[in-house]
Structure 1
Amino acid sequence: MTDTASPRRIRKDAAANRLGLLTAAAHTLAHDPTASIDTIARAAGLSRRALYGHFDDRDALVRELIASGAERFNAIAEGVDDSGPAPVVLARLALALWEGAAHVQFAAAIALDDIHVGDTATVLVPLRRRVLRIIERGRDEGTFRTDLSAVTVSRLVEEAARTVITRLDGSRPDAADVAARAILGVAGLGWREADTVLGSLRP
């Protein structure tokens, strides 16, 4: 029994240590963006050597942090209700993504900075496709702008979301609405129209 249980326990401990490292990295980097690998290891309750058993270097750790966050955003997008007009769906998506990003805003900001945004975009392909479909649907409905191609509008929406996540003060009580309004504005809605859409989503 001991011989068969031990490898399982080792694998379980290794998975727990890896998850602990990622959690510690997110919290540590939120307080100190320049935190060293030693600082992150200590925050996770591990040695530097143990950390290198999971990640080759600090960049590999950050890339893993980005990938796990991006997959979370993909899952959030997949779960957003697709019913209703395109502006409502886009607003619903924006609010859900903001809520997800607000809890890990620093990690999201790292994922969307100029150094890492290329890698992040690759992992976020499912989310990006969802945004494009919503934009195309809104154009067909006559609610989104048609002076630019759907692909261009979709990319502008992404850039607006990137700016909001990396620049907007997440402690603002109206932060979620500001994020949604920015994205709806890029898609072609006026502020009064955006207000109506957001009003329809409030309890």
Structure 2
Amino acid sequence: MTSTTRRRDAVENRERILQVGRQVLAASPDASLADIAQAAGVVRRTVYAHFPTREALLQTVAEEAAASVRDVLASLDTGDKPAETLARFVVNAWPVVDRYRLLVDLTTQNVAPDGVRDALAGIRADVVRLMRRGQEEGDFTAEVTAEVLAYTQQSLMLGLLAAVTDGVLDESEAAHTAAMLALQAVGVPTARRRKVLGDVRR
């Protein structure tokens, strides 16, 4: 086996462990690295070579999730008004948030390792900047701070994820509902909200 083949195999193993790890931890947040190794069809030594601890695997998953969400925000048209940017961000980020639901669960239960919290903090910082721009341009309410609005957005997403899980909200309507409530939470008037949501759905 050549060194190139070994490197390729190592990369493929790491990606498989991450993919299976997300699935296993989503189904069972207390799952061990041994459980993940078994599900991935590799020996424990292979998992430990990439992720020496469960916390290390979780931090990598969190960094992956944070990068995906931040990429969504970075890809949006900066020429849009803040209300449009927020709606598009929520709609486009929803599938990512849903895919990494295990991190949301850990954070909500206050059992996430510090590395996970640090990775996800970057998302909130980006949202705070969007909230602040919306306030400065008159799109969003200025009755509370941008930081409070950002936390409100986070709480909305968590609540809607729970609503989907519990069967209260249909998955097919979740992203649109999340965008509607996100705009409502920052004080966008009804008529403007409907127009923004209509534009986003096109």
TM-score (norm 1): 0.82
RMSD of aligned Cα (Å): 2.5
Measured after TM superposition, the shift of residue 87 of structure 1 is 0.8
Contact 2:131/2:149 (8 A) holds in 1? yes
User: Which runs of 5 or more structure 1 residues have no equivalent in the other structure?
Assistant: none
Contact 2:20/2:36 (8 A) holds in 1? yes
1:169 matched residue in structure 2: 164
1:181 matched residue in structure 2: 180
1:153 aligned residue (149, 157, 161): 149
Residue 196 (structure 2) pairs with residue 197 (structure 1): yes
User: Residues 117 and 94 (structure 1 numbering): CA distance in 2 closer, same or farther, change over 3 Å?
Assistant: farther
2:71 matched residue in structure 1: 75
Measured after TM superposition, the shift of residue 86 of structure 1 is 1.2
User: Which runs of 5 or more structure 2 residues have no equivalent in the other structure?
Assistant: none
Residue 89 (structure 2) pairs with residue 93 (structure 1): yes
- Structure 1: which amino acid aligns with 2:200? L
Contact 1:66/1:111 (8 A) holds in 2? no
Residue 31 (structure 2) pairs with residue 35 (structure 1): yes
Number of residue pairs aligned between Structure 1 and Structure 2: 197
- Structure 2: which amino acid aligns with 1:93? F
Measured after TM superposition, the shift of residue 200 of structure 1 is 2.0
User: Residues 25 and 129 (structure 1 numbering): CA distance in 2 closer, same or farther, change over 3 Å?
Assistant: same
Measured after TM superposition, the shift of residue 126 of structure 1 is 4.8
**Equivalent-residue separation in structure 2 for 1:162 and 1:52 (angstroms):** 32
Q: Deviations over 1:78-124 (max 9, x none)?
A: 1122232211111011111113223x143342464322285445324
Identity of aligned residues (%): 25
The ranges of structure 1 where at least 4 consecutive aligned residues each deviate by more than 6 angstroms after the TM superposition are none
1:106 matched residue in structure 2: 101
Contact 2:55/2:113 (8 A) holds in 1? no
**Equivalent-residue separation in structure 1 for 2:78 and 2:89 (angstroms):** 9
**Equivalent-residue separation in structure 1 for 2:56 and 2:103 (angstroms):** 16
User: Residues 158 and 32 (structure 1 numbering): CA distance in 2 closer, same or farther, change over 3 Å?
Assistant: closer
Contact 1:29/1:106 (8 A) holds in 2? no
Contact 1:87/1:143 (8 A) holds in 2? yes
Measured after TM superposition, the shift of residue 191 of structure 1 is 4.7
Measured after TM superposition, the shift of residue 26 of structure 1 is 1.1
Q: Deviations over 1:143-175 (max 9, x none)?
A: 21111122322332233334334x231652210
Residue 3 (structure 2) pairs with residue 7 (structure 1): yes
2:43 aligned residue (16, 22, 47): 47
1:26 matched residue in structure 2: 22
TM-score (norm 2): 0.83
SS of 2:79 mapped into structure 1: coil
